[in-house]
Structure 1
């Protein structure tokens, strides 16, 4: 997807699907795109594709080799989404960001996870201390549970986590001040 977007942004995406004609400008543009793609590949992968003369041939070979792994990647992402858990309350924000990133990656691959399942993944993977917030939201939206979106759930847990982290750091600062005062 990155290659397609980058090529499209400079008007070279046509070279991913068709070989350049004999016009020198088109051949140079294709070489520029080919070098741009090749330059981003790790050496181990580069060696396998270094003899592809056009962007189209390189792109076709990359798609053939890596699209076959999409089903496995998608299954792995889904497994990860439903098996991640966060036990460290200080890292809840990062955990929620990881869940969002996995959902974004699945969406990019055109895999649809229903909101109800995503909400379940969020709820089951966050520490128990956030369950009161979750229960409050569920109670508020019990008449229309579909109105409670995953984004709302994540925002509420994020806000509570930030409040807890702020309170925790404030308490530590206060303890430090109290300790300092005790020394005088």
Structure 2
């Protein structure tokens, strides 16, 4: 007898991080072998009113997904410039732990990837290295010069 697991995830209400929400949703759909749901029918439950106004008269789950992506993951030039500026000026916040700083950095890189911006491993390494404060100069030197 196969065990089944039930995953519950809140509906996207227009607030918060759409990129993270969509990744979680895709992971759940893939895990449940339901990823094709994005190509077929309308969901049984409707999202909150503010999101309904945004999605309008969509007929399929795929159409709904694409409208939400267009609304909450804009690939406009000003948005891309804003994200690039945030990325290249990224500095680690000393008031939060390393994991939270790395989460912020990863979110920036994912947001840029969602805008079709390709960043090389060298660019990622340099920006991350430059984000370390001078207070950790020894760590920075060890990473930079491979000691």
> Structure 2-normalised TM-score?
0.57
Structure having the higher Rg: 1
Equivalent pair of 1:86/1:92 in contact (CA under 8 Å): no
**Count of equivalent residues:** 123
Query: Relative contact order (C-alpha < 8 Å, sep 6+): which is higher?
Result: 2
Q: Which runs of 5+ in 2 are unaligned?
A: 1-21
Equivalent in the alignment of 1:47: 53
Equivalent pair of 2:73/2:115 in contact (CA under 8 Å): no
Equivalent in the alignment of 2:44: 35
From the superposition, tell whether residues 115 and 44 of structure 1 become closer, same or farther in structure 2 (CA, over 3 Å).
same
Equivalent pair of 2:38/2:65 in contact (CA under 8 Å): yes
Q: Work out whether 1:91 is the aligned partner of 2:100.
A: no
- Deviation per CA, 1:33-76: give whole Å up to 9, x if none: x135x33xx4312234364343244335445x438812455443
What is the RMSD of the two structures over their aligned residues, measured on CA atoms?
3.4
Q: Work out whether 1:135 is the aligned partner of 2:145.
A: no
Q: What is the Cα deviation at residue 129 of structure 1?
A: 1.4
Equivalent in the alignment of 1:14: 36
From the superposition, tell whether residues 109 and 85 of structure 1 become closer, same or farther in structure 2 (CA, over 3 Å).
same
From the superposition, tell whether residues 5 and 121 of structure 1 become closer, same or farther in structure 2 (CA, over 3 Å).
same
Q: Which runs of 5+ in 1 are unaligned?
A: 20-29, 142-184
Structure with more helix by fraction = 1
Equivalent in the alignment of 1:69: 74
Equivalent pair of 1:81/1:102 in contact (CA under 8 Å): yes
